[in-house]
């Protein structure tokens, strides 16, 4: 269940209310079921996955990729697996912990763990959205946002790309007023 924390401290958990708050940014948030496949569920319980295991996970979920290919022209996907034992995890995450934009949509399907996306809204207020398992998010190109992990520091997410070059962060120089993650 997604959790949206507004700058005034108000917390929203109803997906319809969250969608209303994020509507000015055109952010899409949906719930996508991973299904009941026991092999997939076994892979999701593991902290780290090798390349063959990542490929298996992607293949189990490719019906979503095929849908995105047809409706929006997505060309590729990968599986990112982050956990505390990854060397220089903080260094990797630092690239995304500042307010930035991308030239392409940032599209993720969280299948295990959780992560936080912060957004600058058109009125310059800031909100943070905790995205949890089986939630799909599409952050449109040009949206001012930042990203970090919750204190559990674990997430497995399928990332969908039209062009991977479009995900290079363009920093805006704006300050994040506070990290307000709710887990």
pLDDT in tens, 45-71: 999 999 999 999 999 999 999 999 999
| Rounded percentage of the chain residues whose pLDDT exceeds 90 | 92
pLDDT in tens, 100-112: 999 999 999 999 9
Q: What is the DSSP letter of 77?
A: E
For the domain spanning 3-171, the CATH number is 2.60.120.10
Judge whether 75 and 147 are in contact, CB under 8 Å.
no
Distances (CA, A) of 15 to 31, 68, 107, 139, 149: 9, 21, 18, 16, 21
Burial 22-52 (b: 16+ CB within 10 A, else e): beebebebeebebeeeeebeebbeeeebeee
């Amino acid at each position: 269940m997604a959790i949206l924390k507004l700058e005034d401290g108000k917390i929203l958990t109803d997906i319809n209310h969250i969608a209303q708050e994020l509507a000015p940014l055109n952010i899409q948030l949906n719930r996508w079921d991973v299904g009941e496949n026991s092999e997939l569920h076994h892979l999701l319980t593991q902290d780290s996955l090798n390349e063959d295991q990542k490929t298996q996970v992607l293949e189990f979920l490719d019906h979503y990729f095929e849908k995105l290919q047809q409706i929006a022209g997505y060309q590729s996907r990968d599986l990112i697996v982050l956990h505390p034992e990854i060397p220089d995890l903080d260094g990797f995450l630092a690239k995304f912990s500042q307010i930035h934009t991308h030239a392409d949509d940032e599209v993720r399907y969280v299948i295990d763990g959780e992560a936080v996306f912060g957004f600058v809204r058109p009125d310059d207020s800031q909100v943070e959205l905790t995205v949890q398992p089986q939630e799909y998010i599409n952050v449109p190109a040009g949206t001012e946002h930042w990203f970090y992990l919750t204190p559990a520091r674990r997430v497995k997410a399928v990332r969908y790309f039209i062009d991977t070059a479009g995900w290079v962060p363009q920093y805006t120089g704006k300050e994040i007023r506070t990290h307000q993650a709710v887990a």
